[in-house]
Amino acid sequence: MEAKSLTTSDRLVAGKTAFEEITGLPASAFLDGLADLAPNFGRFVMEWEFADVYGSSSLDLKTRETIMIAACAALGATAAPILKLRIGSALRAGVSREEIIDICVQVGIAAGLPAALAAIQTADRKSTRLNSSHSSVSRMPSS
């Protein structure tokens, strides 16, 4: 596995690059948000999750993001902020809004209806915000 042979500084750079490509967000903003609270944790996320795990996975990005949505949805409120991030990443990876909702519905079978409902509501809010911020078409007022 290529990512495992990288040096620590190379892993951090590779992780930041992957984070930005996957989420569309600057890695520095994520790291800065943890700088005063848990600076090593941010580095661990970049190195382990985004360089090591994502760097050596046989799964394509769309599948990985689908799995992340299901796992975060199953965790419920504990993972709500990460679910929002992963919904954006999944949409960027080509997962449709309908597929995201269906993933959340399927989570309800194993994790329970409250977890599924919360995930569906999060998905709706996140995709609505993304659609409105990326839309170049003006919305017509409803009559």
Do 64 and 54 touch, CB atoms closer than 8 A? yes
Cβ neighbours of 77 (radius 10 Å): 11
Residue 130: pLDDT band with limits 50, 70, 90: low
Given this model, what pLDDT does residue 28 score?
96
Cβ neighbours of 54 (radius 10 Å): 19
Q: List, for residues 64-91, the tens digit of each pLDDT value.
A: 999 999 999 999 888 889 999 999 999 9
pLDDT beyond 80 at 136? no
CA–CA distance, 50 with 58 (Å, rounded to integer): 14
Residue 131: pLDDT band with limits 50, 70, 90: low
Nearest to 18 by CA among 93, 100, 122, 123: 93
Residue 24: pLDDT band with limits 50, 70, 90: very high
What does the DSSP 8-state code read for residue 89?
Answer: H
pLDDT beyond 70 at 140? no
